[in-house]
Amino acid sequence: MWKQHTNKSLCASRNSKCFKCQKQGHFARQCFTRVGRGKIHKNELKTVSISTQTENCNNKKSMMKKERDTKRLQDYFDRKRTLQELPFNKTGNTVFISTISSDCFLRDQIETLKTKLEDESFNHTSTLMELQEEQETVRKLRETIKNRDAKIIELENTIQKYERGHDKIADYVTEIKVEKENWKLQCNDVSEMYNVVRKSEL
């Protein structure tokens, strides 16, 4: 299968090992052994359907998130396509191209974070506006309660004034009744005196 050693004591390939058939006594360039491809066991490979993984992943996402992810991927591939169309893409400088690709990826992440922060800011602003409206409602209620308390105090003072006036009127009526009785007594006395004088004249 290989050339015989013409001089076994001087042949350099006598103690060499072939890298092709792993046999000793010749070099790989002198080997005529046909080495078949190693059989690949099915257990060593695990075929995974990308479409199945994608479908399972998408089923777990909401419609809004899927639309956002689709738009994000579309923007990313648009940037990458634009990058590939630039002149320096064919220069062969892999470090520069990798840096630009990383920059595009980072920009995409920044845009995503910016969108998320804008959403959080909008929610925070909405919550703050609701709290301000509630605070304004509470302020108006406190002002209404304060005005009603003042009105109640005013009505209580008015009632007290009327009660004091009623007491004065009652006292005045009592005085008038007493004076009326006194006038009656005086009138009776005068009438009796008049009758006595008249009888004496007769």
Same structural domain, 91 and 29: no
List alpha helices for 27-93, DSSP H. 50-59, 63-85
> Does residue 163 share a domain with residue 94?
yes
Domain membership flag for residue 198? no
CB of 18 closer than 8 Å to CB of 31: yes
Say yes or no: 6 and 67 in one domain: no
Residue 35: per-residue pLDDT: 52
Report the distance separating Cα 202 and Cα 190, nearest Å. Answer: 19
Closest CA to 13 of 35, 29, 1: 29
The pair of structure tokens assigned to 134 is: 């509630």
Residues 18 and 89 in one domain: no
* Full domain range(s) for residue 140: 63-174
* pLDDT of 41 over the 50 cut: no
Number of domain units in the chain: 2
Tell me the mean pLDDT in the region 24-47.
Answer: 57
75 and 170 housed in the same domain: yes
What mean pLDDT comes out for the span 36-47? 46
**pLDDT at position 98 over 80:** no
Q: What is the mean pLDDT of residues 164-189?
A: 82
Quote the CA–CA distance of 122 and 126 in Å, as a whole number.
6
- Residue 192: the pLDDT is 80
Residue 158 shares a structural domain with residue 117:
yes
